[in-house]
Amino acid sequence: MALVTVTDSARDYLAELINKQDVEGMGVRIFVTQPGTKHAETCLAYCPPNEVVPTDEQLDLGKFTLFLDHNSVPFLEEAYVDYAKDQMGGQLTIKAPNAKVPKIDDDAPLPDRVNYILASEINPGLASHGGDVQLVEIVDESVAVLRFGGGCQGCSAVSLTLKQGVESTLKERVPEITAVRDVTDHSYKENAYYQ
């Protein structure tokens, strides 16, 4: 069973929306579109009784049932749904840290663990500048060779990002990594974020 946390405020808010639909037995389905890719998005949708899929996992939340799309379950591990009231009414927040890459075990192969940290922790920060980083290979003595893309390619701040951001995070989270090396051609500056 995937561990999905739905706060009390989110349950109350969703239950209120469901009640407005006036459909007996209406639930909510949570699913991930394009799971395991950098384009993955976690979504909530109404789930009337005639759309329940037998393979869905079900969480009884008291006021309604949350249906977890079977194919999305590995990507919903540690997902969190919250609702916070604000001056404009409120904000429903869905966080699914494993939507882009499913959570892996500590004994997974080294490249899988590096890719997981890149996808779940490093790339979301780089995306705010239109950039991303990918693992090319791991070479002698556990050196991760990376390729920066998007706004990172040609960026003058990439060496700082590589050493203080990417390398320190990777070495902390994957202790077997001894260093990080960049193979990106930073002389191409057409889409660089900082020039």
Q: What is the pTM of this model?
A: 0.63
Give residue-wise pLDDT tens across range 10-65: 999 999 999 999 999 999 999 999 888 878 899 999 999 999 999 999 999 999 99
152 belongs to an annotated ligand binding site: yes
Is there a binding annotation on residue 47?
no
Angle at 76 between CA 56 and CA 62, to 5 degrees: 60
Q: What pLDDT shows up at residue 115?
A: 87
Rounded Cα–Cα distance for residues 94 and 56 (Å) = 19
Q: Which of 144, 133, 131 is nearest to 174 (CA)?
A: 144
Residue of 115, 8, 105, 106 whose CA lies nearest to 62: 8
Mind listing the pLDDT tens digit for each residue in 84-143? 988 888 999 999 988 887 777 888 889 888 988 888 788 877 777 777 888 999 988 888
In the chain, the domains with their CATH numbers are: 4-95 (2.60.300.12), 110-182 (3.30.300.130)
